[in-house]
Amino acid sequence: MSSALTDLCRLPIVQAPMAGGASCPQLAAAVCEAGGLGFLAAGYKTADGMYQEIKQLRGLTSRPFGVNLFMPQPEYADAAAVDVYRNQLAGEAAWYETQLGDPDSGRDDGYDAKLAILVEDPVPLVSFTFGCPTRDVFDAFARVGTITVVTVTTPEEAQTAQWSGADAVCVQGIEAGGHQGTHRDNPETDGAGLGLLSLIAQVRETVQIPVVAAGGLMRGSQIAAVLAAGADAAQLGTAFLVCPESGANALHKQAMTNPLFTRTELTRAFSGRPARGLVNRFMREHGPYAPAAYPQVHHLTSGLRKAAAKAGDAQGMALWAGQGHRMSRDLAAGQLVEVLAAELAEAQAASAPAGEQGTRSGGQA
């Protein structure tokens, strides 16, 4: 299916926004230049930091790209639970010879200022995670010609996104690396997350807008599978995290295929919101006790994570990774896009009836 979204690039391959440094301008530019859609992650950055990266990316490529924003979190407070967790982490601070952060040092990361910049100096695509903006935000982006995408993890969230005015949804399966983009973090629904194929089918039958599929995708054959299931494009994070252009920490990159780290789990240990990462000591020791308190827990552990990285200790870092992490390939980003496109074309050719080819693999473009 062709849409304003899929017309942005030649291939149905999107490099996921990855806050924390991985999806830097160099990575996004390499993906864009190879025919995919590159993304910048504005999460945790200041509005000016985001804008500097946009300008840098524009200097590296003239092709369309996306910018991803974290939605501010609603008021809530279980200050007592955060306090208990702070006490639990005191030993970590002593071990890494650092301080715990102030849990109340900010509920959003300059969302309004970022919106103002993006409307003033528009980019081709803006996506949102951790919630759905109000209609006036979608209207403002529509007026300046920016395509909008909302991350969803349930059919209900997809319906909210469509009703509110989003141009497309990014359907994120439970396999996905990093944070789940769930609109409201609700501990009562822990463990109820849908696998990507189930979710695509349910969202497809719920909304009419284009669907980008994300979660555990590492090979072109998997991209073919999600396109066949009804997605219009595939978004890959973990696969691009290990690329040389990615700004992820070297220990994080190495951990993806390190046999010490055999599996991933969803945890609130680092940020207070469920996120999938390689199971390490910090996750095992603190995951079961971490409260549902984002971004308070994120602020609390920020210094610890930096200190662990500085000490070269992957056991204390947030090693975000999707379920397919072991299939990571240490290829330059442009080359990875080419390999994925070739695998996709091969898978589509193998499954197409004789003489009937030409689904959107980009091979003919």
Q: Could you list the residues that contact ligand FMN (CB under 6 A)?
A: 16-20, 22, 41, 43, 68, 129, 151, 172, 175-179, 181, 214-217, 235-239, 241, 320, 322, 324
**Pseudo-torsion of CA 269, 271, 276, 282, nearest 10°?**
-30
**Residue 254 Cβ vs ligand FMN, minimum distance, rounded to whole Å:** 14
Instruction: Give backbone dihedrals phi and psi of 50, rounded to 5 degrees, phi first.
Output: -60, -45
**Residue 325 Cβ vs ligand FMN, minimum distance, rounded to whole Å:** 8
**Residue 129 Cβ vs ligand FMN, minimum distance, rounded to whole Å:** 3
Residue among 18, 75, 101, 91 nearest 270 (CA): 101
* Cβ 55 vs Cβ 34: under 8 Å: no
In the bound state with ligand FMN, the residue whose beta carbon lies nearer, of 137 and 241, is 241
* Cβ 12 vs Cβ 35: under 8 Å: no
* SS3 labels along 217-252: CCCHHHHHHHHHCCCCEEEECHHHHCCCCCCCCHHH
**Residue 217 Cβ vs ligand FMN, minimum distance, rounded to whole Å:** 5
* Cβ 273 vs Cβ 180: under 8 Å: yes
In the bound state with ligand FMN, the residue whose beta carbon lies nearer, of 93 and 283, is 283
Residue among 104, 146, 142 nearest 124 (CA): 146
In the bound state with ligand FMN, the residue whose beta carbon lies nearer, of 8 and 93, is 8
* Cβ 6 vs Cβ 12: under 8 Å: yes
Q: Are strands 264-267 and 275-278 parallel, antiparallel or unpaired?
A: antiparallel
* Cβ 235 vs Cβ 14: under 8 Å: yes
- Record the tokens describing residue 108, joined without a space: 């959003």
**Residue 352 Cβ vs ligand FMN, minimum distance, rounded to whole Å:** 26
In the bound state with ligand FMN, the residue whose beta carbon lies nearer, of 41 and 169, is 41
In the bound state with ligand FMN, the residue whose beta carbon lies nearer, of 93 and 199, is 199
Angle between helices 220-228 and 333-351 (to 10 degrees): 50
**Residue 275 Cβ vs ligand FMN, minimum distance, rounded to whole Å:** 8
**Residue 178 Cβ vs ligand FMN, minimum distance, rounded to whole Å:** 2
**Residue 16 Cβ vs ligand FMN, minimum distance, rounded to whole Å:** 4
In the bound state with ligand FMN, the residue whose beta carbon lies nearer, of 81 and 327, is 327
In the bound state with ligand FMN, the residue whose beta carbon lies nearer, of 17 and 291, is 17
**Residue 199 Cβ vs ligand FMN, minimum distance, rounded to whole Å:** 12
Angle between helices 333-351 and 25-33 (to 10 degrees): 40
In the bound state with ligand FMN, the residue whose beta carbon lies nearer, of 172 and 348, is 172
Beta-sheet strand order (sheet of 178-179): 178-179, 275-278, 264-267
CA dist., res. 277 & res. 328, Å (int): 14
In the bound state with ligand FMN, the residue whose beta carbon lies nearer, of 177 and 334, is 177
